[in-house]
Amino acid sequence: MKGKGLVVLFILLGGLAVGWRYLPAYYNPFAPFQLNDPPGRITQFKLRRLDSGQCIDLLHQANQQQLISTTSVANTGGDCPLSDVVRVRDFGPVKLSSSFLASCPLALRSALFVEQQARPLTQQFMGSPLTRIDHLGSYACRNIYNRPNARLSEHATAEALDISGFHLANGQQVTVLHGWRHGDTHPWLQAMLRASCGYYGNSLGPEYNAAHANHFHLGMRGFGLCR
């Protein structure tokens, strides 16, 4: 009986291996991540597994495909040293209120979020293309909530972006502060924040606490905190 059990287990494992082989690459968790992989749990898993070299290569590809425009930045020291960061200048057709510093994972995931979610959701809900994103910054050498005894914020390592508003091609400008409570824009902003959860470690908005009333905090720490 023991031998038969081992044979059955071998057959099952062999079947799984064959199954993975014939899955589309974006459904195969063991296949390399590609920029055109669709959103989903497998994509989340692959993004979390990227090492620094893979991230840099993918970010280079994203620049070539004009999903994002970045320039390299020299490493810095001090209380909040930075290494291997870039300056993000735009997300292709979607411009920024100003450039910002970002770790490679933050830059890459932001490019994917804008291309795969923010742009189509804006068109779907608002009927007009997304043209610009306003933000409150990414890098700040400080503790969480500026509390003296708290741990360093994600912003201290350029691993979080605070988005404060959006501009549309029809001239409409929507801020998180006012748009979140407005009936015409709340469903869209809610969908945007919810969709961001598939790319970042944490996505925090106005419902999280008063400190986030005027922005979406999109950070790299953790996994699955979306409020």
pLDDT at site 9: 40
pLDDT digits (tens, 9 = 90+) for 114-170: 999 999 999 999 999 999 999 999 999 987 777 777 677 899 999 999 999 999 999
pLDDT digits (tens, 9 = 90+) for 84-121: 999 999 999 999 999 999 999 999 999 999 999 999 99
pLDDT at site 7: 41
Look over the chain and give the mean of its residue pLDDT values, rounded to a whole number.
89
Reported as a pLDDT band with limits 50, 70 and 90, residue 24 is: confident
Share of residues in the chain with pLDDT > 90 (%): 75
For residues 181 and 184, what is the distance between their CA atoms, to the nearest angstrom? 9
Please say if the pLDDT value at position 189 is more than 50.
yes
Q: Phi then psi for 122, rounded to 5 degrees? A: -65, -45
Q: Any residues with CB less than 8 A from the CB of 27 and at least 6 apart, and which? A: 42
Please say if the pLDDT value at position 28 is more than 90.
no
107 in Cβ contact with 144 (< 8 Å): no
Positive or negative CA dihedral for 193, 218, 45, 130?
positive
